Chain A
Amino acid sequence: MESFRGKALSWELKNGVVELALHRAPCNEIGSLTLEELEQFVKVLERVTNEAHALIICSEIEAGFCAGADLRELHWRSQQMERKDAARGVRDFLERIHRVLNLIDASPLTTIAAVHGVTFGGGFELALVCDLIIADKMARFCFPELRLGLIPGFGGIPRLKRDLGNAVVRDLLLTGRSFNATKMQQVGLVSQVVGEGEPLRVARATAVQLGKFDRRTAVAAKRFIKPIPYEELRKEIDVFCELFAEPAVEAGLRKFVESEEAQPYLP
């Protein structure tokens, strides 16, 4: 058995199943710390490919799976730098997180996101790299980036387009509204909606089922049915960086960070 417990996430390989659990308060916001640990994780993931058949990604935080990028860190860092240096820093961060997410997306393991509660922005994008999404009935999915003057930057749009009809993608992105798990299952993104507190148990049961099949066949099937939209992912980084240079983004970030509104999570 291999295991690791860091400041933002932990992972364990047991009985052919790798479990990656996020545990950074308040709601697993993805900043430089989480990215560094994810980079360590994907190195391990590549190494244990022959010992495992499934990967489960879940959260130990009660509030949800992941609230997305760490906007407070992004705002703080961009305040410490010249504008052009901040833009370069954002591009570097995006390229690193894309490398991590592309590796998980392309992993020969069958991957399951076991999500609950807030699954917003970058958290939604993390779930989207997985082959299956198993959602607590109380989970909510949202891309609130447009309120900041941005688009999702962790591969959200190309991966949504891979899996969903364009009208649903437009609804999610352009309104910024959140969908509950049942709606997400109706549109075809969520594989199973389960009771409160049940996603990890169901994901583990699903992982046991996956282990019954020949791995080479499963890998071939995955390659055939889940192409990775690399070209669009590259374009997404470019569009995000262009938008990030707009003054409206800095204002939007400041408003979010300084917000004392009762409803900052409502788009």
Chain B
Amino acid sequence: MELLHDIYLYLPAVIVAIAGLAVMMLSAFQANHQTVLWTSVFLVAVALIRAGADLFAEAGYVFGGMAAVGGMAAFGTFIILLGTLFTLLLCHDYFEKAGEYFSEIYAIILFATTGMIVLATSTNLVTIFIGLETMSVALYVLAGSVKSDKRSIEAALKYFLLGAFSTGFFLYGIALLYGAAGSTSLEAIAAVTDKGLIYWAGTALLLTGFFFKISAVPFHMWTPDVYQGSPTPITGYMATAAKTAGFFSLMMILSRALESSHVQWSEVMQVIAVLTMVFGNVIALVQTNVKRMLAYSSIAHAGYALVGLSAGTLEGYSAVQFYLFAYTIMNIGAFGVIAYFERYRDLDLTELDNYAGLGYKQPLMGVLLTIFLFSLAGIPPMLGFAGKYLVFAAAVQSQLILLAIIGVLTSAAAAFYYLRVMVFMYMKTPATDIQLAPVGTVYTLALGFLALLTVVLGVMPWTVADILAAF
């Protein structure tokens, strides 16, 4: 009975796993793409509603302390499911246009989501590792899902090789921490008092593994190529849901297992955060491809989130959670619009030069992209501004003033490359006449809803921040 109760408490992940299996069977019997899509969307929406209800539930542990429910874990699950839902809605049109459309894509996305939820909620290193691997294996496949595109294949191979490499660090870290604590549970690692070489080496390797996954500088080398080569909605999925899962797991480990070594890891985080913000933004400035520019911008955004982690306080953690929520909404939106523009006959519309005049060709899409990019740049009253404000405020509260200043300066520089896209869209005349196909209704509604969230929650950020403060 206790097991059934635990399954009930852990329902969002269970629903998504069952949805994955169901969709896999549907595609095995060659069901129509629409059927598969809407089955997935329906089940993920149910899981999302359940995760939303969990936000107000009591925090606790399930499966004998293997995973957490409620509180931070519930919010992580919520963001991941939100990202998945919109990725599913935006996938259909893209893959149909790409001409390589297999409905197994949906099963793999749902399995990846299961892995992400497990990663974000587990409180045991064994479970964290298995969640991470489930997510990663599914993402390697998704990165290469447009098989006729060489860059997609290249992205999949690069992601696989570097992902396997980073998994080595991760696993070695886990092994050493197990050696130091005699158990893989985060609680037991927190109780280690004799911090010898094994403990520190384990911590360092584990954090290195995480830095790879959240693409922090100098472990970001794979990110630009993988993000540029992958199918665009999948890039949005990797940049938001996958990164969110990684950050939540990292927060879980930092707050529950490594709390007592806060002083030491905070210094490391600060250095990595500065490197990530500066490199990510500076390199994004010179990009001429919008997709690649957003890849570098996503590296920079990981840097801002690391600023909140460096604080290591409750305010810091809840600011990072808010940041990831905001980032997921606006980034999936931005990648969604870019996925729509992407290709016109032989013209690669991810190149910035080809964005000239697109704002007048497709007024609605132009406005939506403008909203998302304003938000990513952190211009008030958009959601991105509230996220950045909370993160930097948490840093200032923990006396990390220099870090906050560097953050503000780099995000001011970042406004340049976001605004440049708008300049091209509205102030340049196009060289060739481009007739884009009309946008699908579902596609427009999904992006419109994301833009609405970006603006409304940006004006009223406390609606979300209050929930987070209650954890």
Q: Do A and B come from one complex?
A: no
Residues of A whose CB lies within 8 Å of any CB of B are none
